[in-house]
Amino acid sequence: MQDIKSIKIFDTTLRDGEQSPGASMTIDEKLRIAFQLEKLNVDVIEAGFPIASEGDFEAVKRIAQTLKGPEISGLCRANDKDIDCAWNALKYAEERGRIHTFLATSDIHMKYKLKMSEQQVIDTAVAGVRRAAGYTANVEFSAEDAARTRLPFLAQVVEAVIDAGARVINIPDTVGYTIPSEFGAIIRYLKQHVRNIDGAILSVHCHNDLGLAVANSLAAVEAGAEQVECTINGIGERAGNCSLEEVVMALRTRHDILPFTTRVNTEHIYATSKLLSTVTGIMVQPNKAIVGANAFAHEAGIHQHGVMMEKTTYEIMTPESIGLTQNKLVLGKHSGRHAFNQRLDELGYSLNKEDMERAFVRFKALADQKKEIFDEDLDAIIADEIIRIPERYKLVQMNVSSGSFAAPTATVEMEIDGKLRKAALIGSGPVDATFRTIKKLTKSQAGLLSFTVGAITGGTDAQGECTVRLELDGREVLGQGAHPDIIVASAKAYINALNKLATVMKKKASAHF
């Protein structure tokens, strides 16, 4: 038996994951996810890019001040201003604060983006690491676009920054270009050719442009990488990042050929996945590995028979191992606060007394309308009542009339910047009329890119869940709303998107791997 080696899990959901179109989060939303990541027991949480905006700085600062378990990382470019800003946010975590600085090393980036020579890149990287090391010994350096960097030069950069004080070296496949055998070879090359490689932890950060982020990360671990950077549900730039749940469960499930482990409490995976979907409005595809709705579903008769006889015939892991309970029905109209609070805690929500009371009132109202309350209904309640608190725009009341002979008409009353406004318009359908009226009231110039409707659970009394994608000046956001009345749910989703858009438009563009 080979010795079991522990692999560090560096979660960048709150930084790289937030850079997914429409996934921008408020400070409170980031803090809620950070608490759940702490329950998940990841080793490092990359809380944001402090220089990017005041909101990002404050989010990193609050997470550094509040969380006590994992290391807290803040991303920064290899320049004095970025590094100083990052430490000012991270210093509250003391020795757990990690300055994560980066600089591109590939020919294409040096020529077209940086306009630097090789020596200038080395000098800049070394100067950045030295400045960071002046604040803390916990310094990580990333060679942006390392996967497309000439290996001798990459080794030269890595050796120089380790000498300068970097204690973690990250090798990103920034554009998801490599295949597993190739990426594993890069890690082996560095292990063999960098004189001081034992002076730092070797990390990898893979993107999923070719659908190989998890495979490349596992190949890197087999080649000697000791840290994997990943995100919940695999969200991130373009096609996303290495999926945390997939790489962690692969290491857990295949101990026969992968003698590695992690500190992750896998029983919190499902709750973390659901919380992120609720916060961002980005739903998980049904056939997504580990956390998709169909991941443990069996429809084929042969499969069903096999699972009834012995689960391992068609299940290589148990639903319980990721925190997915078999019986989702837990509450009804006769349930009290204790059962309600306990179930929310199990789902990963930590609410204050005021938020809990508001959520409970909404739960009781829904329970009077529905016979059965499912976990998905609770997620929707939290999304509408707590996480998705309207900011600039708030729906007060609405009425829609429609039919085969009547022109669809929506009358909407909203609170906008604290003032009540009301309007009515005709549309081609009830949803179109509703959106037109809201757009008139808010004077929004945003374009509607997509609109989707689904039932949160089964049955004709199920809550409807709507998602809209809006675009303005190249910025895209997702809005989400839930309500037993699908038209009201549509209005909630549209208004939610407008509130998110108002926040996103204030944020500065941030760099990425």
DSSP line for 261-278: E----GGGHHHHHHHHHH
Contact 318, 311 (CB under 8 A): yes
Q: Which pTM value belongs to this model? A: 0.82
Write the DSSP assignment of 308-365 as a string of letters. Answer: HH-GGGT-SS-GGGGT--S----B-TT--HHHHHHHHHHTT----HHHHHHHHHHHHH
Q: Which CATH superfamily is domain 393-504 in?
A: Alpha-isopropylmalate synthase LeuA, regulatory domain (3.30.160.270)
What is each CA distance from 30 to 45, 392, 426, in whole angstroms?
11, 19, 39
For residue 105, what is the DSSP state? -
pLDDT at 326: 54
pLDDT at 456: 72
Q: Which CATH superfamily is domain 5-280 in?
A: Aldolase class I (3.20.20.70)
- Residue 445 tokens read as 């110039």
Please name which of 123, 124, 60 lies closest in space to residue 92, comparing C-alpha atoms.
60
pLDDT at 327: 42
pLDDT at 512: 47
Amino acid at 157: V
pLDDT at 214: 98
Amino acid at 508: K
Sheet of 409-416, strand order: 393-401, 409-416, 419-426
Parts of the chain with a pLDDT under 50:
1, 327-329, 508-512
Domain ranges, ordered by start, for the chain:
5-280, 327-387, 393-504
Contact 32, 279 (CB under 8 A): yes
pLDDT at 118: 98
- pLDDT, tens only, 436-486: 999 999 999 999 999 988 877 767 777 888 889 899 888 788 888 888 899
- Residue 424 tokens read as 């009515």
Give the torsion sign (CA, 459, 460, 461, 465).
Answer: positive
pLDDT at 2: 57
Please name which of 66, 2, 36 lies closest in space to residue 265, comparing C-alpha atoms.
36
Contact 350, 343 (CB under 8 A): no
As a whole number of angstroms, the distance between CA 34 and CA 40 comes to: 10
CB atoms within 10 A of CB 245: 27
Please name which of 468, 487, 484 lies closest in space to residue 476, comparing C-alpha atoms.
468
As a whole number of angstroms, the distance between CA 433 and CA 390 comes to: 21
Sequence-distant (6+) residues with CB within 8 A of 341 are: 356
CA 376 to chain centre: 18
Contact 170, 141 (CB under 8 A): yes
